[in-house]
Structure 1
């Protein structure tokens, strides 16, 4: 078991390092630093559907994906990720993480423990006043997510959130919508199972 964990950790580190080999970001604001926003953590908790992301190895081919966050008494966050691989008929997968809000960042930056001792940084870049939509990012802008409280999002809202990401310096052409319903599979702008990044 220990050998498996070490091998898995090595694969994960190599995969994360591969993110640095992403195509050049053509956005003229690509080098502008990302700024987090203050977050009311109790209000932020609960279920969030992944509406779109920059696909990477761990989320590639996933459909019906969502996150569920629960604030613990110690101030940390139980972070549950659920998704189905390639098909809505596939069994639901579940991954569990532990997040720690970074002191001094007003709830807008979390250290996410994938497994001990590997941590990554997650940035809250936007949350609307009603806590219906949020944008999460990653230093370097090679990863990003659009979340919603509901599995549906209008095209107008989606375009407005992409415009925010563009203003932050993201290459928005890399975002793909995540199918939350079977009829969305294969539609323009949605990630398709088996699609390469």
Structure 2
């Protein structure tokens, strides 16, 4: 577990260092009602990333806190059935802008270097009913297709893929729910 968190922190540092300015990033969803956004989200697909390399099923849980930040709990099930968990917090990158968040996970590295360990969490697309979302980083290295339900139909999957491509993400390398990578 410590290795999972340490590796995730290292990835966040790399992602932050390589990220371009907001002006260079993809189109986002615009204003997001974080109260409606909170709750459970199931990962349908993601671009490959080292810290999730053994995950076959992932879930994120978000809870809006009184100070406007969002408590984050990410859970991952590995091929071996092992459960991994990472806890953190998300805050808007700019006051009043709720589609671009910084996420920082609680671990020893983050406690020592808090300014270096925050990662981009941009809500790129969000269905009107908050049933599916597309989340990524402005450098287009990270991408997650999320839904409220454990499984989605083909039309919903195709819509998320279309939205990702419109924003410049390469979807050929996506790892789908149930696959490790």
Q: Which segment drifts farther, 56-65 or 132-141?
A: 56-65
Aligned to 1:111: 102
Paired residues for 1:95-134 under 5 Å:
95-104=86-95, 106-114=97-105, 115-116=110-111, 117=114, 118-134=117-133
Deviation at 1:105, TM superposition (A): 5.3
Q: Deviation string for 1:48-76 (max 9, x for gaps)? A: 00011002011112122100000111111
Contact 1:15-1:57 at 8 Å conserved across structures: no
Deviation at 1:170, TM superposition (A): 0.8
Which consecutive unaligned segments of at least 5 residues does structure 1 have?
21-31, 180-190
Contact 1:45-1:71 at 8 Å conserved across structures: yes
Tell me, in whole angstroms, the C-alpha distance in 2 between the residues paired with 1:12 and 1:53: 18
Aligned to 1:27: none
More strand by share: 2
Which consecutive unaligned segments of at least 5 residues does structure 2 have?
19-23
Alignment RMSD, CA only?
2.7
Deviation at 1:141, TM superposition (A): 0.4
Which residue of 46, 59, 66 maps to 1:53? 46
Which residue of 13, 16, 37 maps to 2:14? 16
Which residue of 72, 88, 93 maps to 2:65? 72
Deviation at 1:146, TM superposition (A): 0.5
- Aligned pair count? 164
